[in-house]
């Protein structure tokens, strides 16, 4: 009886749950540091081009160079408010018209996953090609110029996507989903705590509504159905359209799209599933606080009037505080799903456990007002940047 009562506790040490916890946290940490490194590399380039005669440069470089990074998308307040609405419309389109758009959606997803996974592989390919190949870019005409590492990472990514299309293996789908998570965390920016709160609060309402209340309106759990519905394999569709015969392209499996991470249990009886939105959206918040932690280190000499706070509080970074909150929130969501034996909106637990400790810590440190509106806006005058 006791074993049945606390079965949810035993399920927490299942291999599928442990894998979900570890991979999601590693993706957030890795994506956040990739994002920070992109900013620092462009900051160094800006510094080399704008060094003053006195050996100092404008402190606004930390903020301005972010806009100069190719492909960076910064979310403003309006976009944060309308993103949950746009996500709801997309969810309804997928729910009602999935059979009509599934092939186009699968192809678009495969293209995006190819680019994202190439971005994920790029540091490894740069390390492998550095000893044997110069970093000069090779011209491909109107397609652009690419280094050997970029070509290698893209080739490997294309190969992995093709194998996924042919086999539909869950491990390859997870690899593509990981690439999407890292790329989205690295290339999307939250400019302030205000925008972060607007975005995450809106997505919390979106997640709760479509998981808990959509069944009362649409007679089905819209979120779960869209997330778990497999799509027709494009090869199978192409074979039928071209009438290539019953044995050509007909034995390929249906594809579960890489919009989630799935991990099988040790017994193989079930899968643990976590949507990439439950990784990316809190990951954007962690990316923001990591950038702010780094900004404070660089601008230490500019803020002499910081309120006195306990020494231990100063030693804890916002990034570590929010990361611990994410872990506790994910643990709470897992326990809730096991107790209720039903799908849970993970953001219902992740958003409060990340935002509330962050807001509390920012208030105690005296940074709340600055983080809320203009966290990276430097005061008048120049300051000296410190090495990180």
Please give the full DSSP string across 326-388, using - where no structure is assigned. HHHHHHHHHHHHHHHTS---THHHHHHHHHHHHHHHHHHHT-HHHHHH-TTPPPSS--PPPP-
Q: What is the mean pLDDT of residues 271-296?
A: 92
Q: How far apart are CA 16 and CA 23, in angstroms?
A: 11
Per-residue tokens: 340: 């209720």
Residue 2 exposed, middle or buried by CB count within 10 Å (0-12, 13-18, 19+): exposed
Residue 388 lies in a domain: no
> Residue 261: pLDDT above 70?
yes
Provide the b/e sequence for 75-97 (b: ≥16 CB within 10 Å): beeeebeebbeebbeebeebbee
> Which alpha helices (H) appear in 130-167, and where do they start and end?
148-167
Residue 207 lies in a domain: yes
Residue 107 lies in a domain: yes
Residue 41 lies in a domain: yes
Residue 384 lies in a domain: no
pLDDT single digits (tens) 152-163: 999 999 999 999
Residue 29 lies in a domain: yes
**Structure-derived torsion over alpha carbons of residues 340, 346, 352, 357, reported in degrees to the nearest 10:** 110
Residue 385 lies in a domain: no
Q: Is there a contact between 201 and 351 (Cβ–Cβ < 8 Å)?
A: yes
Residues with Cβ within 8 Å of residue 251, at least 6 apart in sequence: none
Residue 379 lies in a domain: no
Active site residue 99: no
Nearest CA to 126 out of 221, 37, 226 is that of 37
Nearest CA to 382 out of 63, 64, 65, 60 is that of 60
Domain count, the chain: 1
Q: Is there a contact between 72 and 66 (Cβ–Cβ < 8 Å)?
A: yes
Host domain of residue 353: 2-47+58-373
Indicate the pTM of the whole model.
Answer: 0.86
pLDDT single digits (tens) 67-103: 456 678 999 999 999 999 999 999 999 999 888 888 8
Q: Which of 207, 232, 236, 251 is catalytic?
A: 207
Active site residue 207: yes
Q: Is there a contact between 65 and 46 (Cβ–Cβ < 8 Å)?
A: yes
Q: Is there a contact between 344 and 333 (Cβ–Cβ < 8 Å)?
A: yes
**Mean pLDDT over all residues of the chain?**
82
Q: Which of 14, 174, 236, 278 is catalytic?
A: 278
């Amino acid at each position: 009886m006791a074993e049945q009562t606390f079965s949810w506790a035993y399920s927490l040490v299942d291999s599928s749950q442990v894998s979900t916890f570890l991979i999601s946290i590693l993706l957030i940490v890795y994506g956040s540091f990739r994002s920070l490194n992109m900013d620092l590399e462009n900051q160094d380039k800006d510094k080399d081009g704008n060094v003053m005669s006195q050996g100092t440069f404008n402190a606004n470089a930390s903020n301005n160079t972010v806009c100069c990074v190719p492909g960076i998308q910064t979310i403003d307040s309006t976009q944060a408010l309308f993103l949950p609405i746009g996500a709801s419309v997309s969810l309804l389109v997928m729910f009602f018209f999935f059979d009509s758009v599934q092939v186009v959606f699968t192809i678009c997803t495969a293209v995006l996953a190819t680019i994202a996974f190439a971005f994920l592989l790029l540091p490894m390919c740069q390390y492998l090609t550095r000893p044997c190949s110069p970093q000069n870019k090779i011209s491909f005409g109107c397609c652009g110029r690419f280094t050997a590492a970029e070509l290698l990472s893209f080739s490997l990514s294309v190969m992995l996507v093709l194998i996924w299309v042919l086999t539909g293996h869950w491990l390859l789908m997870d690899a593509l989903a990981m690439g999407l998570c890292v790329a989205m965390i690295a290339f999307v920016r939250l400019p302030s705590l205000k925008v972060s709160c607007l975005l995450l609060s809106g997505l919390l309402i979106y997640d709760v509504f479509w998981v808990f209340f959509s069944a009362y309106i649409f007679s089905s759990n819209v979120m779960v159905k869209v997330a778990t519905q497999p799509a027709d394999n494009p090869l199978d569709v192409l074979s039928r359209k071209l009438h290539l015969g019953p044995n050509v392209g007909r034995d390929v499996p249906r594809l579960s799209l890489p919009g989630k991470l799935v991990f099988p249990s040790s017994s193989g009886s079930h899968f643990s599933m976590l949507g990439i939105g439950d990784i990316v959206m809190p990951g954007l918040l962690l990316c923001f606080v990591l950038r702010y932690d780094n900004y404070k280190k660089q601008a230490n000499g500019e803020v002499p009037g910081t309120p006195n706070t306990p020494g231990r509080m100063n030693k804890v970074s916002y990034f570590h505080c929010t990361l611990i909150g994410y872990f506790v929130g994910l643990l709470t969501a897992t326990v809730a799903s096991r107790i209720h034996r039903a799908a849970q909106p993970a953001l219902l637990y992740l958003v409060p456990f990340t935002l509330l400790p962050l807001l509390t810590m920012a208030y105690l440190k005296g940074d709340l007002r600055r983080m809320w509106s203009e966290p990276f806006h430097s005061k008048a005058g120049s300051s000296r940047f410190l090495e990180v």
